[in-house]
Structure 1
């Protein structure tokens, strides 16, 4: 509904319910009720415009002023009003962000107090790393794993460029954590990866140049995500994806969210307790730890060491867990 306020025309109903000026009374305490407004999914964001999916319609939307600085991110379920036709030049408005089931976050570095939400409502984290060109960085993999566990996402490790280097060492390194691992090469059958993505909302995270966009192009024919080369001098990839985008798999088999390549992953928002809590079997073994136990190697009377000593916990599993947890403690954040 269009309102005329103080001589100006605005399409934002909320503006009539702001704080009154001095010596004036508020017109009403009632605020607009959008509980019956249409629900859409934010699939990408570009320069202040939100691309949303409403059924089969793609809408372009702005954010209502009443939401203030509250962030709207890819994956959010939102209520929209305004022009919902999806026609060229039409503009809807996001008036409410529905509660998020999960939020994947990172910080710029380990001293940054400000969390940066990346994706909302995903349930699976696919860490994409190349076996060569650029070489794998276990420190980065471990850090992304920590953020995924903190967000409550199920992790998957996807190893690309298997034609350039063997995958055995990395598969062995993460086997004790019982993380699904799939290795792919150009032109290979993606059936095993398809099986892991089916009926899930999966966010793809990894260094620039590891092949995320190439994977997306293979999984969703015709999507044409831009791909880039790796710098021969630095060994780093060029950023080809500039913003996250949610894409539906063929035959409505699930969703994948392609994200821009990352070169660091700060974890100042994560606590040691949230890492341990991601492993119910290990959390149970820490019940008898002394107060304040960090579960690091050498911690006095750590229940994890006791469990290894009496055969309840495999040494390799504890070693892998502590290596991953160590990624949270290490500095700097670039691995």
Structure 2
């Protein structure tokens, strides 16, 4: 019998020497399930890792609860995403489906918590229009917040729309004069007023409503979608700020066609992700005038030899429009509204 430190654990006569289980030799595969049976759906709200989806279109759509499949990893799923799901899509109580694919987004509305925060947060996907809702009074308008929302819209490739509420309390012309040179369309509403123009602007489009708390977003949503049941808040008489009534983004189908996304009231809109060259592209007439700008020109008011200044001097550009664009450009780094 062999002994000592160099001896093997088993001798030739040990049963374990022959019966020791071998490692599995089954080859691994990189193939993934095809999910041929997956159905298309739209994400309407997100709540702590659970997703509410609509499967189907129109009145026949089914509301389905789902989780994200593990193979998606850290890939984000947000309101407005078009996804493919498998599992129980009946919508019955207690049923749960799995999101297995997020389809390519046509637009992505982003913001950062602060201007020096490198982490982007996607608010909504696949929206065509950003509706900036602001009250003309109670609370007072916040032009810098409006500017920042407009910058985010232009950067995302979305059409902007100003929705001025509470016109029964203040004249909208004072605020409109600030944005008229930018060519931003607008609608004006008042308590109990006709919403025909608003409905026309929203019809057959997917629109995101953003604005501070207390400006009337939830009131507007309830008027547009009577079954929405969004909670309505009030404005604090001391601080002049509204109370957050919406805690998460929620997508709703409009009775006449189209979708609206109601978002929680915002008090900051970080724009660390926005680059000047992307912003100028939203204004083709001004962009054309910057072709001969020096390399690295941001097109701001303090840039030497900027093509915008030369165009204004040659009376080829509207000075007010250039000034308004530069105000939006400056809004990227001015957040004390």
The alignment's TM-score, normalised by the length of structure 1, stands at 0.90
- Equivalent residues of 1:140, 1:334 under 8 A apart: no
The residue that corresponds to 2:124 in the other structure is 119
- Pick from 211, 214, 217: which aligns with 2:219? 214
Which residue of structure 2 aligns with residue 5 of structure 1? none
Match of 2:284 in 1: 280
- Residues 91 and 140 (structure 1 numbering): CA distance in 2 closer, same or farther, change over 3 Å? same
SS in structure 2 of the partner of residue 275 of structure 1 = helix
Which structure has the greater CA radius of gyration? 2
**CA apart distance, 1:62:** 0.8
Tell me if the contact between 1:264 and 1:334 (Cα under 8 Å) persists in the aligned partners: no
Residue 102 in 1 paired to residue 107 in 2?
Answer: yes
1:54-113 deviation digits (Å, cap 9, x = unpaired): 011110001111111111000000000000111111111101101111100000001101
TM-superposed deviation, 1:235: 1.0
Q: Distance in 2 between matches of 1:80 and 1:62?
A: 9
Q: Which runs of 5+ in 1 are unaligned?
A: 1-21
Give 1:31's aligned residue. Answer: 32
Unaligned runs of 5+ in 2: 1-22
| Aligned match of 1:8 | none
* Structure 1 segments of 4+ aligned residues over 3 angstroms from their partners: 22-27
CA distance in 1, matches of 2:149, 2:30: 45
Shift of 1:35: 5.2
Structure 2 CA distance for aligned equivalents of residues 64 and 296 of structure 1: 46
Match of 1:4 in 2: none
| In structure 2, C-alpha distance between the alignment counterparts of 1:24 and 1:281, rounded to whole Å | 66
**Deviation of the 1:25 alpha carbon:** 5.7
**How many pairs were matched up?**
311
User: Residue 184 of structure 1 is aligned with which of 163, 173, 189?
Assistant: 189
Q: For the Cα contact (< 8 Å) 1:182–1:192, is it kept in 2? A: yes
How big is the shift at 1:24?
7.0
Q: State the Cα distance separating 1:254 from its structure 2 match.
A: 0.6
Residue 88 of structure 1 is matched in structure 2 by 93
Taking the aligned partners of 1:205 and 1:30, their CA distance within structure 2 comes to: 43
Asked if 1:194 is matched to 2:199, the reply is: yes
TM-score normalised by structure 2 residue count: 0.90
